[in-house]
Structures are given as C-alpha cells and as structure tokens.
Structure 1
Amino acid sequence: MTERVATTPGVFPLPDWAKDDLADLKGHQKHDLVSGDEDEEVVAVYDQARKEVIERQQDATLDRVVEGQLRWDDMLAHPLAVHDNVETRGIVRYYDNNNFYRDPVVTDELTFDGDIANELEAASGFASADELQAVVPGPYSLADLATDEYYGDEDDFLAAVADFLAGEVEAFPEVETLFVLEPSLVENVPGDGEDERASDAIDAVTTAAPADTDVVVQTYWGALTEKVHAHLLDADFDALGYDFVSNHEENLYNINEYGTKGSIAAGVVDGQNTLVEDPGAIAERADWLEENTPAADFETIYLTTNTETFYLPYSTFQEKLAALGEATELTEVTA
C-alpha cells in the first residue's frame, strides 16, 4: 500500500508579528536585516518565529516538519546571498511573479558556509529527527538565479554551485527527508547537453545526503520537457516532485510515458492562491493520481503545496497546512 506523507517545500511567510518586530528593529525592509551575521535582537525574532511555524506544522499533523526558511527573504537565492564571497546587488524579479530578490554576484570561490545547517540545528530543538525535513535550492536553480563573476564558464559555475550545496548538505544534522527545489528546470529549460549537466549537478547534491535520508527533487510552475525529465531520472534520489496545480496533464503524461522514481511528491495544493482547498478534495486528487498512473507502484506519495508558500498571507498559510494534514488523515481512515 502506498504511504501518503503530508509535507511542504518550505520557504514560509513570516508571522505578522515577526514582520512588525523586524521592521521596528531597524526601520528597514527585511532585505536589510538578513546578512548572515544578524545581531542578537534580530536572531531572537527569527528563533521565536521558527518555533512558532514548527508548532503550526505539528498542530496541523504534517508528517514532515521544515525549519521554515523564514530568513530566506531572497527565496532560493538565500544560500548565496549570505555567503562571504558573494555580493548582493540590484533587485531582480523572482521568476515571473511579483516577488523580488537581491542579485547574488559570486566574486570569489564558493567555500563552505554552514548557514542552512545552523538553521536546522536550531530547528532540531523543536522537532525530532524522524520528522525534520531539510530544504535546499537545487544547483541548477541556484546557478540560474545568480550572477557569476569568478568562475567564468557556465559549466564550471554550475559544478561549483553543486559542490557548494553538497558541502552544505553534508554538514546537516540528522533529518528524515531532504527537499531539493528546482523550479528553473521548468522556467529556464536547459538545452542539449546542459540538461545532462544539470542532472549531474543535482546528483552531486542528492548523493551528499546520508544514506537513510529520503531525498525529493521538487519541480514546479509547470511540467518538465520530456528530455529534461529523462535526464533528471538518471540522478540518484528517491522521489521526483510534480506540479499538479499548474499542469496536471503533461506531468501525468511524463509519469505514464517515461516512468518516474519509486516515490513521487505531488503538488496538489496551490502555494500561491489564497483559496484554501477542502481536505476531502485534496485526498481525492491523491486518489485520482494513483488511479491514473496504473503502471506505477509508488512506495510513497508526498502530498504538498506545489510551490513555496511565502506568497500567502500568514493566516491563509496556516489554513493550507491544516488542510494538508487533514487530507492525509482522511486517506488513512478510508484506506
């Protein structure tokens, strides 16, 4: 029987009180507060907010709990934006939406940083190792969001970003699951040859995780092209994520025509729309997915939002968590 696991790809909105507190501390936008070496008052706000969002996930009975990535005001660009050898410059549109991030310009070698590992260590005080889920940007997406002024070659830069992320992952405390977020595979489709190098880069990151950590590569904002999908399956990880909100037909086609991993992550809740899904409807979407992939015998289906949820008002975000948790409980009752 297929196990259904309720989770999210992380990168949450800040609680409203935390936004106000951070604004009061310096009177600046949050971009100005996140540098990697925040003062004690700023750290205290993030610590309390982290504790709150972990408790919200636990209250919603999610099976996996993320740290929340509340400091990631630059979204998936964050690990580079706080790196000592990276300069943050102009404000850049984040994919094709109304969110923006600071352009991380790599000016020297991408050495080990440990920023994400530190966040996970802080989260481990509120979540057990068997429920804790780590989140990292995928190397192709992180390289796509950044500007290179050091390596001088696209392939070398992608490999360097992959090595950097692999080093970060190796420093993680014990976690049950790792989500590697790769929207650029859909938004900026790699060309011939580049698709294979992207798969190799992802493999370098996913294989850096401990052998007993389940690794999910989550793609979103559409469907992978057939060639990119095929190359991605060559990388070593446990589950591939599909966005069934943005494009359920092509994602279903890829699974049935070309196969997939032994497990999948199904983006069945809209991470950007404020309409809150009914738990019963979410469970029905999971049933539909299994019914329409007759050749697949999934070990696990991770039921998740299709994208990050930092786009949502905090109250709506909490309602979406509750709906996901209840939907998974419904499937357990009816199984």
Structure 2
Amino acid sequence: MSEFVATTPGVFPLPDWAKDRLGSLKGHQKEDLIDGEETGDIAGAYDEARAEVTDWQATAGLDRVVEGQLRWDDMLAHPLCVHDAVETRGIVRYYDNNNFYREPAVTGELTFDGDLADDLDALAALDGVAEARQAVVPGPYSLSDLATDEFYGDRSAFLDAIAEFLTGEIRAFPDCETLFVLEPSLVTNPPEDGLDERASDAIDRVAGATDADVVVQTYWGALEEKVHAHLLDADIDAVGYDFVTNHEENLYNINEYGTKAGIALGLADGQNTNVEDGETIAERIEWVTENVPAAEFETVYATTNTELFYLPVNKAKAKLASLAEGVALAGADADEEVNA
C-alpha cells in the first residue's frame, strides 16, 4: 500500500511582522558596510520567522517540514545571488508573473558557499522536526536558466558547473528525510536536443549527493515528452507533476512513458488564493491514482504545485491544513480498501 505524504515545495511567504521588521532593518544598512549589530538583528528576525513557519507546518499536520527559504528574496536564484563569484544586476521578471529577482551574472568559479546548509542547520536546531526535515534546492537546469554565464563559456559547461556547485552544497546538509529539487524551467523553457540529456545527468548528479529521498518537482505545465523521458533516466525517487495547471498532459506522460516508484502531485494552487478543502485534495489524489492503470506508488507526495511565497500568509496556512487533511482522508480510504 502507498505511503501518503503531505508536504510543500517550500519558499514560503514571510510572516507579516517579519516583512515590516526586516524592511526597517535592511533600510538602515549602509550600502557599503553592514553594521554588526544590525546584521545580528536581521539574523534574529529570520530565526524567529523560521521557527514560526515551522510551527505553521507542524500545526497543520504536514508530514515533511521545510525551512521555509525565507531569505530567498530572489526566489530560486538565491543560491547564486549570495555567492562571491556572482554579480547581481538588474531586476528580471521571475518566469511569467509579477514577481522579480536580481539577475545573477556568474563571473568566477562557483566554489562551495554553505549558505543553504546554514539555514538547514538552523532548522535542525529546532525541536520536533528531526524525523520530518525536508530540504529544498533549485534544480540545476532552472538555476542555470535564471542566471547569466560570464565565466564558463557555453550552456553545457555552465549547467555542469551549476550541478557541481549544488552537489557540494547538498553534501553539507544535515540529515533530511526528503530533498525537493525545483525544476520549473524544464517546463517553461525546455532544453533543446542534447541539452535535455545533460539536464537529466545534472539532476542525477545532484540527487547522488544525498541519502534523502529525492523529488524533482516540475510545474507551470507539463514536460515535453522527450524531456520527461530523459528525466526518468535520472536516479531519483519521484517526479512531481503540476495537476493544477495541466492535468491531462501530465497524466498522458505518466501513462505513456511511466514514472518513478514515487510520485509528487501538485494538487493545491500555490498562486491562487482560493483554498481547496481537504476533501478536494483527497479526490484529486484518487483521480490520479485511479487513472494510472495498475500503478501502486511506493510514496505519494501531495503538495502545492508551486512555491508558496505568492500567497498571503493566511491563505498559505490554510492550504497547508488542506493538504494534511486531504492526505489523511486519502490514507483512510486506502486502508478501507485494503481491509474490505
């Protein structure tokens, strides 16, 4: 029988008080010098906010708890935007929506940084999350797609360098149950022939850096058939599908080409403030599993289709509760079928 897991792709909205406090603190920083006390205050605000979003997830009853990625002002581009070998430049639209990030231009070698591990270490220090920790990283293809290369010379070399960089970062992580690798660019700007195979190889290398279960979450549509087939060559535990944006083509890919032993289902809309109730989430889980002939997945992850930072805090918290309720209902239904 499948294990049902309620989780998210992370990248949460900041609590409202944290937006106000951090905006004030950052506004008082000098452009060329950050005062040590102000830095301490900023770090303290992020620590407090991290503990709060961890409590949101625990209160909702999620099976996996993310750090929240609250410092990711540049969304998935964050790991490059804070790197010493990267210059942040003009403001760029983040995919096809009203969010923006600073363009990261890679001007030197991408050596180990440790920024992501530091945040996960802070999560690990909190009580009650040891058995449920989930790490989140941008996928190598998406991160290379969001950035500009002024050092490595061509797309393939740049993609390889990004994968090597992420591999080093992940090896420094504390133990986690699950790693979500977020790859929206595989859908929105699919790699051309040749690069699609290299993208799969890059994901495979990233997945090999951890003992955690690795889920590659794709969203904002469905993968092209060839890209999907190559992704399945990577040694990962589950592919994530956006059943909010395009359920029919995602279902076609699964039935035509198969998928991994686990599956992540993007069932709640991470950008829409309408809140799906638990029964709706359970019904959507049932719809997918019933429409995949003869499939019994080892693990079914129920999640929002996208990151959560688009949502107001109250809506994000409500969707967490719906995911947890939906998974509980789906698990209860599965138990009844087994016992019938």
By the TM > 0.5 criterion, same fold?
A: yes
Distance, in Å, in 1 between the alignment partners of 2:236 and 2:172 is 18
How far the C-alpha of 1:3 sits from its partner, in A, is 1.1
Q: Is 2:180 aligned against 1:179?
A: yes
How far the C-alpha of 1:28 sits from its partner, in A, is 7.3
- Structure 1 unaligned runs (5+)? none
Contact 1:259 1:296 in 2 (8 A): no
Please list, as runs of the form range in 1=range in 2, the aligned pairs for 1:34-113 lying within 5 A after superposition: 39-113=39-113
Q: Is 2:201 aligned against 1:197?
A: no
Please list, as runs of the form range in 1=range in 2, the aligned pairs for 1:84-233 lying within 5 A after superposition: 84-126=84-126, 127-210=128-211, 213-233=212-232
- Structure 2 unaligned runs (5+)? 336-340
Contact 2:271 2:310 in 1 (8 A): yes
Counterpart of 1:39 in 2: which secondary structure?
Answer: helix
Distance, in Å, in 1 between the alignment partners of 2:119 and 2:72 is 11
Distance, in Å, in 1 between the alignment partners of 2:26 and 2:116 is 24
Contact 2:267 2:304 in 1 (8 A): yes
Counterpart of 1:22 in 2: which secondary structure?
Answer: helix
Distance, in Å, in 1 between the alignment partners of 2:2 and 2:52 is 31
TM-score normalised according to structure 2 size: 0.94
1:310 matched to which residue of 2? 309
How far the C-alpha of 1:303 sits from its partner, in A, is 0.1
Seq. identity, %: 69
Distance, in Å, in 2 between the alignment partners of 1:116 and 1:38 is 21
1:5 matched to which residue of 2? 5
Distance, in Å, in 1 between the alignment partners of 2:7 and 2:16 is 22
Structure 1's 232 and 91: CA in aligned 2 closer, same or farther, altered over 3 A?
same
Matching residue's letter, 2:220? W
Q: For residues 29-49 of structure 1, what are the alpha-carbon distances to aligned partners after superposition, in whole Å with 9 as ceiling and x for unaligned?
A: 9xx999xx9810100000000
Distance, in Å, in 2 between the alignment partners of 1:82 and 1:186 is 26
Counterpart of 1:324 in 2: which secondary structure?
Answer: helix
Distance, in Å, in 1 between the alignment partners of 2:43 and 2:256 is 48
Matching residue's letter, 2:17? W
How far the C-alpha of 1:89 sits from its partner, in A, is 0.6
Structure 1's 43 and 182: CA in aligned 2 closer, same or farther, altered over 3 A?
same
Distance, in Å, in 2 between the alignment partners of 1:4 and 1:294 is 18
1:258 matched to which residue of 2? 257
Distance, in Å, in 2 between the alignment partners of 1:26 and 1:243 is 36
Contact 2:264 2:303 in 1 (8 A): yes
Distance, in Å, in 1 between the alignment partners of 2:251 and 2:260 is 13
Distance, in Å, in 1 between the alignment partners of 2:38 and 2:298 is 42
Distance, in Å, in 2 between the alignment partners of 1:28 and 1:326 is 43
Q: For residues 77-132 of structure 1, what are the alpha-carbon distances to aligned partners after superposition, in whole Å with 9 as ceiling and x for unaligned?
A: 00000001111010000000000000001010000001010100000122433200
Matching residue's letter, 2:238? A
Contact 2:25 2:38 in 1 (8 A): no
